[in-house]
Structure 1
């Protein structure tokens, strides 16, 4: 009897923590496992870029060499409703003298869409980060606390049963 209860407890706690860590990746990757997408025609010159954050399909994209920022976000299924399009970043490795330096280019995509400004052309190896609002960080923290509370409640219930 005691062995069965301990086994149930271990299964419950391990599944709760697995869900906790699975849900926590949403902030960085937009959720789910990594993905690779090819968007191009056979024989077309392509580049590889990364799309992270609050878009429908984050991942690694192989796109035509003339792809701009708005096109990449569109290839990614578009921004999620929580996306902060005013604060999109392009992270680009740039050679300065004999070293490679990471350069961060901040782009207001809302302004590009509203005013018709040109969208920056992407270069090979660029990483585009579409951030979410601060309310989403709070939601994720509350979800983690909820999962910990559920695990603690389950443990307390099992301990209560064992004491009887």
Structure 2
């Protein structure tokens, strides 16, 4: 099932910082202004709001997750606004989600805790990517190509809210 919600917030993409730098063009088309090449992360931990969890490295947002292997696909945001923060109760699109306008940077599945961060550019669109969902060559469930980051998850139903 494919659901979408469009908002009136503005955002714009950004070009790579250096000429000739490695750059994932599909990720670059986002309002979120990703830079560089996405990476697979299996071990970065962070503590946000007193909750320790698996997180993408600082400055990165989650764009996919293989929950069974505890591996996240992370993309570097060109900028962020404010610090990472813990969300324990926001719901949107039938799942736990970061507050609108922020994206997931970490997750503790067992506690249903999300680490969230506001990107430096505005979120202009959200969609639900669901079971079986979009997958990459890892293979893992990922948000759609075109620069989407995870902003919510229903782990039991294999659903992501993806924002750009």
Query: Is the structural similarity TM-score above 0.5?
Result: no
Scaled by the length of structure 1, the TM-score of the pair is: 0.29
Structure with the higher fraction of residues in helix conformation: 1
Structure with the higher fraction of residues in strand conformation: 2
Larger radius of gyration: 1
